[in-house]
Structure 1
Amino acid sequence: MAIDSQCNHLNKVLDIVIPVYNDNPYLAETLTSIFKQQSPDGWRFHVYIIDDGSEVPVNLDIPKENTSAVSLLRLKKNSGCSVARNKGAYAGYGEAILFLDADCSLAKENVLALLLEEYVKGYDVCFGQIYAPQDDFWAKYQNEVAAERAARFRSGELSSMTTQIVMVEAAIFKKVGGFDERYHFGFEDRDLFLSLINIGANVSLVEKAVVNHNDQLSLSSVVKKLYGAGKSASTRFIEKHPGEYSRLPYAKADVRYSRKLWVSVKLVPVAFLRFLVSFTDCLINRKVLTYIILKWCVKYVSGLAYLLGTKEAR
């Protein structure tokens, strides 16, 4: 049964929360993939699009038969993904909440059904998996990262996944206060998962529940996020989860955890980082080096960006 406005007799509701900032060319594809979903008996869905203070308000082009299944909420100013996701989560009334990124379309028509099947088994948090369908360097890189996250999850690191696709029981989400709104971007997902796990949430990974990550990445966009996470979000995460942070790879690229790093990073200007980003992006686009070498370059530049961000941490 697809999502439609004729499901009022059903008694279980899944709220789908999608934050958006400025124009997202993939949002229409994401919504179309939701409208095609098969819903298990007894369930209906409602989608909450949260316009996070976009410079030009987000406009939706939705088929008439689906308009009643979608609400568009606008924030007056850009407040970050934590605030936006909370706004959508608390606006709904569903038994469960699915957090989904605007550039992540559901790969098959049974993705939500797979997650709900796991949820009704007694799992409070159900992660899906992401897949980058593009045939390029960044697709391969993202897919390797996704596989590594899943491997860490299976080995016991239950907070290793992301909010690109995750279903959470509404009651337990609200019990921990939702996303910590002091995070603008970075670490807010891991912080939430740790908070849920710490109060006893049952967590599951449904690897067949796949979303296609349709965004076209660049090293400049990746570096911008990592620099920002090191500069601001990391401080809040360390305050709340010092032991967890010290075990993460991020701590190895944090000047607060190494005097040698602090001394060496003082000699590295941000202008040098910009040069490395531009140069590496050029190498990736021209495909002049092997994937292994480019991957090493990306990891080095990304780590340096996070390191420089921690130097400015407050």
Structure 2
Amino acid sequence: MSQSAEAVRVTVVIPTFNRCADVRRALGVLREQAGPPLAVIVVDNSSTDDTGVMVAGEQPAWEGRLRYVRKAPQGPASARNLGLGMACTPYVLFHDSDIELASDWALRAVAQLDGDPSLGAVGGYIVYAFDPGRVNAYGGDLGWFGLAWDVDEGKPLRPGTAAADRVWINCSAMLVRRAAAVQAGAFDETFFYGFEDTDLGWRMCITGHRVRVVPELVARHNVDPSPGQAHPEIVFHYCKNRLRMLLRNTQGHRLPWALGAYLAYTLVDVLLRAPRLPKLRALAWNLAHWRATGSLRRSMQAQRATSDRQILALGEGRAFPPTRLGGQRRRGTEGGAVPARERVGADDRV
């Protein structure tokens, strides 16, 4: 190995499922990052394509710093936790396979954490690859009874935007202080799809670790311009996860009315909008798992260093997102037509 293990301070964790071409592109971009060398762990959720063969072919060029592990398809939270547990570096970069980082992203992000011990996580602008002048996310906001959304989603990229503390960061591209993520409990592995980054960011804030976005950190997200309709199973996971998150993380005096507001919202949502069964299944799941959630809640609240009032003040103070999802997997944006992607239907989060 030409680069000493001591020189490596960042481990990149890439969860994937049937995204061989995306992972190859991501590895190529990561190899060209400015600054000290990176270590990479590709966590494969049992892909049926050539991901494993491709990574094996790339490993010699990484001189021992590229690892591949295959696991049961249990979703991105489980995959990221596996990578987090395998990492030995002080910093871990969670990096989705469909992300392309700017060439100095890692160097700038490390400088942020090095320069401020109170920071637990840092991210920046995620823009659409099909329209790099338009924002996918600049951190995330949290409503006062548990709804969450990407800040500035679909808006034009604004020059001169300031850095800002957030409740959470989209974990498509997020550098964390490994010890801070572990202290906060890492990702909840019952979150098969959705809200795992919102949940972790909230818990990092609770334990006293700041979460910050910096405009110089820019990453391109290779998604289709058309968001597509949310499958009923995705709706189930969204609803299940945000209720579990609310029950686990909400500060004691806020819980009765925040939970009451959430249940009232859910009742109206079930009555007015399909699909209805997944939303009822989500309530049933949380009832069935209330003991386990209660145990996690007691542990989380015992570590509380920051009040929910302080945490929610990092956002706009809204209850609802500025734009409804409208049954889609993500909020739409204006963008020109692009050729259909070969891997339509593949998703490294499943």
TM-score relative to the length of structure 1: 0.70
Cα displacement (A) at 1:298: 7.9
Matched, 1:196 2:192: no
For residue 110 of structure 1, what is the aligned residue in structure 2? Answer: 104
Q: Is the 8 A contact 2:26 2:98 kept in 1?
A: yes
Whichever residue aligns with residue 78 of structure 2, its letter is V
Alignment of 1:232-311 (within 5 A): 232-242=240-250, 256-257=264-265, 259-265=267-273, 268=274, 299-302=325-328
Q: SS of the residue aligned with 1:177?
A: coil
Matched, 1:220 2:220: no
For residue 179 of structure 2, what is the aligned residue in structure 1? Answer: 171
Cα displacement (A) at 1:23: 3.0
Q: Is the 8 A contact 2:99 2:220 kept in 1?
A: yes
For the residues of structure 2 that align with 1:204 and 1:113, how far apart are their CA atoms? 16
For the residues of structure 1 that align with 2:245 and 2:137, how far apart are their CA atoms? 26
Identity across aligned pairs (percent)?
18
The unaligned stretches of length 5 or more in structure 1 are: 272-295, 304-314
Which structure ranks higher in relative contact order (CA pairs < 8 Å, sequence separation ≥ 6)?
2
Alignment of 1:119-198 (within 5 A): 119-122=113-116, 123-135=119-131, 140=134, 142=136, 148=152, 158-198=166-206
Cα displacement (A) at 1:259: 4.3
Cα displacement (A) at 1:170: 1.1
The number of residues matched between the two structures is 264
Q: SS of the residue aligned with 1:302?
A: coil
Q: Is the 8 A contact 1:182 1:236 kept in 2?
A: no
Q: SS of the residue aligned with 2:111?
A: helix
Whichever residue aligns with residue 47 of structure 1, its letter is V
Cα displacement (A) at 1:194: 1.0
Q: Is the 8 A contact 1:19 1:50 kept in 2?
A: yes
Q: SS of the residue aligned with 1:220?
A: coil
For the residues of structure 2 that align with 1:93 and 1:232, how far apart are their CA atoms? 32
For the residues of structure 1 that align with 2:275 and 2:110, how far apart are their CA atoms? 49
For the residues of structure 1 that align with 2:49 and 2:152, how far apart are their CA atoms? 37
For the residues of structure 1 that align with 2:69 and 2:169, how far apart are their CA atoms? 27
The unaligned stretches of length 5 or more in structure 2 are: 139-148, 278-321, 330-350
TM-score relative to the length of structure 2: 0.64
Q: Is the 8 A contact 1:82 1:183 kept in 2?
A: yes
Q: Among residues 44, 48, 58, which one is paired with 2:41 in the alignment?
A: 48
Cα displacement (A) at 1:83: 0.6
Q: Among residues 6, 30, 43, which one is paired with 2:2 in the alignment?
A: 6
Q: SS of the residue aligned with 2:92?
A: strand
Cα displacement (A) at 1:74: 0.7
Q: Is the 8 A contact 2:77 2:189 kept in 1?
A: yes
Whichever residue aligns with residue 95 of structure 2, its letter is L
Q: Among residues 58, 66, 86, which one is paired with 2:51 in the alignment?
A: 58
For residue 24 of structure 2, what is the aligned residue in structure 1? Answer: 28
For residue 94 of structure 1, what is the aligned residue in structure 2? Answer: 89
